[in-house]
Amino acid sequence: MSRAKYLTGDKEGIEEFLARFDTFLFDCDGVLWSGDHMFPGTKETLEMLRAKDKRLVFVTNNSTKSRADYKKKFDKMGIPSDVEEVFGSAYSAAIYVSRILKLPSPKNKVYVLGEAGIETELDSENVPHIGGTDPSLRRDITQADFDGLADGSLLDPDVGVVLSGLDFHVNYLKLAHAFTYLRKGAVFLATNTDSTLPMSHTLFLGAGAIGSPLVTAYGKDPVALGKPSQAMMDAIEGKFKLDRNRTCMVGDRLNTDIQFGIEGGLGGTLLVLTGVTQKEEIMGEDKVVVPSVYVDKLGDLLG
């Protein structure tokens, strides 16, 4: 595997690279910003790409936000965007349930471990759901819960899917519901399986970590609908009718973003070093996942 080309400061190399693509798929957290901190040059870089008539798609594994929520985030950060440019893992999961899984109603109800973003996107695809932000589940588990889950009296017989995403309000009660539905035969889906979440300039626990109690207890992995799952790439291609050869994936993670682009057969991948991946991780001949090019930060594309 050849080494990635370093483009920071290489004006000519940048020009040449950008000219190879019509579409840029962007990871957001760790690429454009970290939490509420925008990286320098982000806005100007996106403007430069738009000025060159590039199509931009913001592909995020963050399942806590709906596409509309994400649009608000762009607005708040002062970055012009359109809600149709946003493609999140919650939306990807909703599409998977409604258009691919297509369980017969009423046995198509989804038990959600996650935040409002998932619920909004399930609603947009008319998929019934329980769990999620239900305030009655934000409490300690009781003996009555253990008994009622064990004898089935607390279970909704229409639940056919457990969808696990990032839940900042995770607790034992919610996990026990999800685990019991899985044991009863529900299909196991995850919006994404990122182990960590870049926030406040450091890392916290990601959706893959929060859902891992279910994986450990149930002993089976979910079907993941976020990067690097090619189910998400197929959905993006279907929606945007893109030419994979002339599409570049931009991200900060080798094992999600860059792998997503490589496995999807895209024309190129660009790694930024403002997120999870450190420079050392792409050096050396023995690396398996290597981006086409890398820069210290996205803004370095301004040359």
Please, what is the minimum distance in Å from the beta carbon of residue 145 to a second copy? Answer: 9
Nearer to a second copy among residue 2 and residue 153 (C-beta): 153
Query: How far is the C-alpha of 140 from the C-alpha of 51, rounded, in Å?
Result: 53
Report whether 227 belongs to an annotated binding site.
yes
List Cα–Cα distances, 243 to 24, 114, 168, 226, 260, in angstroms: 11, 33, 37, 20, 15
Q: Which of 20, 76, 123, 146 binds a second copy (CB under 8 A)?
A: 146
29 is catalytic: yes
- Residue 167 beta carbon to a second copy: minimum distance, rounded to whole angstroms: 8
Catalytic-role residue among 10, 29, 156, 296 = 29
Instruction: Give yes or no for residue 205 binding a second copy (CB under 8 A).
Output: yes
Establish if 172 lies at the interface with a second copy (CB under 8 A). yes
Residue carrying the six token digits 């957001």: 28
Does 38 participate in binding a second copy (rule CB under 8 A)?
Answer: no
Cis peptide before 40 (omega within 30 of 0): no
Helix H, strand E, coil C: the string for the chain is CCCCEECCCCHHHHHHHHHCCCEEEECCECCCEECCEECCCHHHHHHHHHHCCCEEEEEECCCCCCHHHHHHHHHHCCCCCCHHHEEEHHHHHHHHHHHHHCCCCCCCEEEEECCHHHHHHHHHCCCCEEECCCHHHCCCCCHHHHHHHHCCCCCCCCEEEEEECCCCCCCHHHHHHHHHHHHCCCEEEECCCCCEEEECCEEEECHHHHCHHHHHHHCCCCEECCCCCHHHHHHHHHHHCCCHHHEEEEECCHHHHHHHHHHCCCCEEEEECCCCCCHHHHCCCCCCCCCCEEECCHHHHHC
Binds a second copy by CB under 8 A, chosen from 2, 136, 153, 216: 216
Residue 27: active-site member? yes
Residue from 101, 217, 223, 231 binding a second copy (CB under 8 A):
217
Q: How far apart are the first and last CA of the chain?
A: 27
Establish if 268 lies at the interface with a second copy (CB under 8 A). Answer: no
Q: Give the range of 95-103, 156-164, 193-201, 275-283 binding a second copy by CB under 8 A.
A: 193-201
* 212 is a contact residue toward a second copy (CB under 8 A): yes
Contact flag: residue 150 with a second copy (CB under 8 A): yes
CB of 37 to a second copy, least distance (A): 11
Interaction between residue 176 and a second copy (CB under 8 A): yes
Least separation in angstroms between residue 52's CB and a second copy is 36
Tell me how far apart the alpha carbons of residues 299 and 211 are, in angstroms, rounded to a whole number: 34
Q: Which is nearer to a second copy, 82 or 147 (CB)?
A: 147
Q: Is 147 labeled as ligand-binding?
A: no
Contact between 245 and a second copy (CB under 8 A)?
no
203 binds a second copy (CB under 8 A): yes
**128 sits near a second copy (criterion: CB under 8 A):** no
Q: Does 14 bind a second copy (CB under 8 A)?
A: no
Binding residues for Mg(2+): 27, 29, 252
List interacting residues with a second copy (CB under 8 A).
Answer: 35, 140-141, 146-147, 149-151, 167-172, 175-176, 179-180, 183, 195-196, 199-206, 208-210, 212-217, 219
Catalytic residue list:
27, 29
Binding residues: 27, 29, 227, 252
Q: Pick out the residues of the known binding site for substrate.
A: 227
